[in-house]
Amino acid sequence: MATLAAGPDTAAEGIVARNLTRTFHTAVRRPGFAGALRSLVDPLRVEKTAVRDVSFSVERGRLLALLGPNGAGKSTTIKMLTGILTPTSGEARVAGVVPYRERERNARNIGAVFGQRTQLWWDLPARESFAVLRDVYGVPQAEHRARLAEFDSLLELSEFWDTRVRHLSLGQRVRCDLAAALLHDPPVVFLDEPTIGMDVVVKEQVRGFLRHQVERRGRTVLLTTHDMTEVARLAERVVLINHGRIVLDGSLEEIRGRFGGTWQVHATLDPAELEGAPPPGIRVVRREGPRVVFGPDGSGGPGGSGGAAPPTVHRALRAIVERYRVTDLALEENDLEDVMRAAYLRREERPVRDAAEDGAVADGAAADGAAGDGAAPAAGRSA
């Protein structure tokens, strides 16, 4: 779990989430006709913790990718950071403001795009929507014009901004939404799958726009996406979330090192070397004459039975070259999508401290007759 490395100055300008937890309560229908009748008078309440103890920070002028499979808790986290949802526990600060306590002040500091959900008015031309937002946020006319010109140069909006939003293509509409979200010059931007459904040309244009906003305008961006190309091209740092918990907070290299251990090295060895044992953490996957395929030793690292983590592909290459006399060498490495798939699917081993805390929570919950484990729904009756 990440700890807050940010000092007070960073916290005042970027994003800080500390132990954010959000629990939802919903009524579920019991099975059968009798169950349905009983549910009417005595509803069965189900508690589900969508996000649990999420902590991370993003410094000003940085882009962080918040990744995770569907239903992992990414959008819930963003909704707490934007002030739409109030956390059940924990705290958040965005540009120095507690978003769910000071919604209006927070609104001036942030911009947001939620995938294909548009904030533009369907019956108005996009440029008229921009003008309405200018007045809502109180942006001076000259500033508004200059910013529109800047966005137009990056996103080519003027080709279609006089078209009514209902007639825009998805790519055109999302570009307009990006512009709408940044027209009031917010220091912090939340983007929830902004390029979903776009073609590759528009995606690249949007990526260029986002890079510009981070590098040239110093905006802090929190991005969620399932597009690994986008992650590879934009993200300096990644927070991986699954089942409402943070699994990893680090660079792409760290993720590759931890979850991308399915590389293979195809080597042709000197015949005299064939009997030697492979270096530590590396095993022989198969052998055909002098051609040997090496892979990570499955006994160590995440998901393994113990021991040290397998070496990264770069370390493995060095170890193999140092250990053997190699006449030919080829590398087969998973791409980022494979790495993320492995990360999503692998059951994250949980630190002893966390497991002990969960036990205490579960014990307390049993005594109360209410909650259970964070990720799993826990049923109980409540008013």
Q: Under the rule (CB under 8 A), what is the footprint of other proteins?
A: 22, 24, 50, 68-76, 79, 82-86, 95, 103-105, 107-110, 112, 114, 117-119, 121-125, 128, 131-141, 143, 164, 166, 185-187, 217-219
CB of 76 to other proteins, least distance (A): 5
Judged by beta carbon, residue 164 or residue 323, the one nearer other proteins is 164
Judged by beta carbon, residue 113 or residue 269, the one nearer other proteins is 113
Judged by beta carbon, residue 105 or residue 315, the one nearer other proteins is 105
Judged by beta carbon, residue 21 or residue 119, the one nearer other proteins is 119
CB of 325 to other proteins, least distance (A): 51
CB of 95 to other proteins, least distance (A): 8
CB of 337 to other proteins, least distance (A): 19
Judged by beta carbon, residue 4 or residue 131, the one nearer other proteins is 131
CB of 74 to other proteins, least distance (A): 6
CB of 271 to other proteins, least distance (A): 54
Judged by beta carbon, residue 71 or residue 271, the one nearer other proteins is 71
Which three-class secondary structure string do you get for the chain?
Answer: CCCCCCCHHHHHHCEEEEEEEEEEEEEECCCHHHHHHHHHHCCEEEEEEEEEEEEEEECCCCEEEEECCCCCCHHHHHHHHCCCCCCCEEEEEECCECCCCCHHHHHHHEEEEECCECCCCCCCEHHHHHHHHHHHHCCCHHHHHHHHHHHHHHHCHHHCCCCEHHHCCHHHHHHHHHHHHHCCCCCEEEEECCCCCCCHHHHHHHHHHHHHHHHCCCCEEEEECCCHHHHHHHCCEEEEEECCEEEEEECHHHHHHHHCCCCEEEEEECHHHCCCCCCCCEEEEEEECCEEEEEECCCCCCCCCCCCCCCCHHHHHHHHHHHCCEEEEEEECCCHHHHHHHHHHCCCCCCHHHHHHHHHHHHHHHHHCCCCCCCCCEEECCC
